[in-house]
Structure 1
């Protein structure tokens, strides 16, 4: 799986630009502020339909313009697969096209082209911010599991509705929340189980990559913190349903839902110590690089296709030994 050609219009600093890429490896070089990171962001857009940097669509439109478009030819099994994404800020709508045919939903694009993005700005943001760490798992699993993405979208809609009821009806009869509780417990259980299953597979791969990058005996650990303990997976739906019921009085007071996968956490550790609390910048970057390389391995094992690996400014903060080890890994 790879990208052979791309055309950008009004995307970030690109008014109009065309690119061609080698099937195996492409190095993008240039002075600062020329758009290297923006180019990688546009490629990742093809995989998830939005910015991997968390930017709003209207903020991606080139200054003075009112739309952007990304057109690319991707290849899978030696067959060309054209993808186009267009956003119009005047109406606030974004559309995706596959083989020139419009997709009913933007989320239908996810899984058609897989990519993994490493960005240096992610190091502090991702490793120190719980929602961003959950997002790591959500994007990863969604790219190889359409059912997971559907569950995630339904869960977010149900959660929004339940939170609205909690905020607007402080004296609402608790039984009226039961349909939402049942929906959140069922969907939430499937989400938690899929995350745990993915982490089971990716954990040893990430540890192996970290050992090879760091060339130290440090052990990278990754754990999922949830109301549902790993040994209680069979009871996931029951546990979430009980928690939603037990905390309703507190939720009415606060106006939002306190239990579910939206409150869970992915934690990284080095030799048993919290990485986001104690690790140096070089160690944190090595952790995220190891995770991203293991994401690529995971996606290839699940889909049968190696994803496009997008690596931005990967050597800063790394000492010479780690930089050499990383270069050997990426080259192989």
Structure 2
């Protein structure tokens, strides 16, 4: 499976652009601000139905520089070559309208139904947030990894988040009106327990399964002797002796008074986190910039391999501005791994055409270079 072409209209800074891609390597070169990353983001939309930059859909509608006003819509369209047939994916967003995602002109009822059709992995400068930011960034990353390979997980996650919002809204209502109804609040305990436990178990299993691959890639990229560990931290993590008598539902009851005071649900899998360690210490505090970058690349490459193992699909690999952020040694290791692992279709952005051409020569695949003005 690979992306055959891409057409974008009124997307970010691009009025209209069309690309015909190589099934192997595609490079976008141009000055900073030319819109290279925006093209990768359009590909991410085709894969995940949203921006990888975390901005709202409406912010991606192009604003005219001459008239200083935004257009009325944006559209992204792509033909995806599969083993048996080709599919057309189209994303359309009009002002004051709901975003539409279509497959062969048939609109998905839910965006969740599209997730996993064309899996993708992006390596970008923004990955540093996974180490420096709080737990929310790491939870979103973990959810994104699992959701691309497990539709049941995605369904449980959506149901959990919906129930959590309803419980929190009720807690705020109680405080505002100075009332409290335990029976009404406990209605949400059963679905939170059901879906939360499912999510917890799948997260546990996924992290355990991907850790050896992360360690393998880190060792290759860093050429170092450090040992890296990824630990899944959750309010539901309990000792073996306590597993039989402590559930998510009990956790909610134990923190009822705290939740009343705070007016939100203070404990649960929505507070989970990933702990990144190197030689027993937090990478955030003790890892050098080079070690942190090596770890993040190993994390993403492990994600690619895991998706491929589970789905038999090669995710598209999006490399944003990666060569400006890595030293030559790490670039060499990354290119070598890309060659060896058969990672499928690759999209690269860079500011230097000559550097990009030299990198591409070292990968024994067909390639195309697009200059972005």
TM over 0.5: yes
Matches within 5 A, 1:286-325: 286-325=294-333
**Counterpart contact for 1:196–1:230, Cα < 8 Å:** no
1:124-169 CA deviation, whole Å, 9 max, x = no partner?
3554331010111101111111111111111011000000011110
Whole-Å separation in 2 of the counterparts to 1:145 and 1:233: 30
**Counterpart contact for 2:138–2:273, Cα < 8 Å:** yes
Q: Where does residue 14 of structure 1 map in the other structure? A: 14
**Structure 1 position 276 matched with structure 2 position 281:** no
Larger Rg: 2
CA-atom RMSD in angstroms: 1.9
Q: Where does residue 81 of structure 1 map in the other structure? A: 87
Identify which range, 294-303 or 220-229, moves more after superposition: 220-229
**Structure 2: runs of 5+ lacking an equivalent:** 64-69, 341-373
How far did residue 236 of structure 1 move? 8.8
Whole-Å separation in 1 of the counterparts to 2:33 and 2:196: 42
Q: Alpha carbons of 1:41 and 1:307: their partners in 2 closer, same or farther (altered >3 Å)?
A: same
Q: Where does residue 128 of structure 1 map in the other structure? A: 133
| Alignment length (residue pairs) | 331
Whole-Å separation in 2 of the counterparts to 1:262 and 1:229: 13
1:168-220 CA deviation, whole Å, 9 max, x = no partner?
10331223221201110110010111111111111111111111111101111
**Counterpart contact for 1:186–1:237, Cα < 8 Å:** no
Q: Where does residue 256 of structure 2 map in the other structure? A: 248
**Counterpart contact for 2:7–2:77, Cα < 8 Å:** yes
1:72 is aligned, of 65, 78, 101, to 78
**Structure 1 position 60 matched with structure 2 position 66:** no
Identify which range, 319-328 or 267-276, moves more after superposition: 319-328
**Structure 1 position 157 matched with structure 2 position 165:** no
Q: Where does residue 353 of structure 2 map in the other structure? A: none
Matches within 5 A, 1:189-204: 189-204=197-212
Q: Alpha carbons of 1:43 and 1:164: their partners in 2 closer, same or farther (altered >3 Å)?
A: same
**Structure 1 position 211 matched with structure 2 position 219:** yes
Q: Alpha carbons of 1:42 and 1:250: their partners in 2 closer, same or farther (altered >3 Å)?
A: same
SS in 2 for 1:27: strand
Identify which range, 242-251 or 57-66, moves more after superposition: 57-66
Whole-Å separation in 1 of the counterparts to 2:238 and 2:301: 25
**Structure 1 position 142 matched with structure 2 position 147:** yes
Structure of greater relative contact order (alpha carbons < 8 Å, 6+ residues apart): 2
Q: Alpha carbons of 1:215 and 1:236: their partners in 2 closer, same or farther (altered >3 Å)?
A: farther
Whole-Å separation in 1 of the counterparts to 2:320 and 2:224: 24
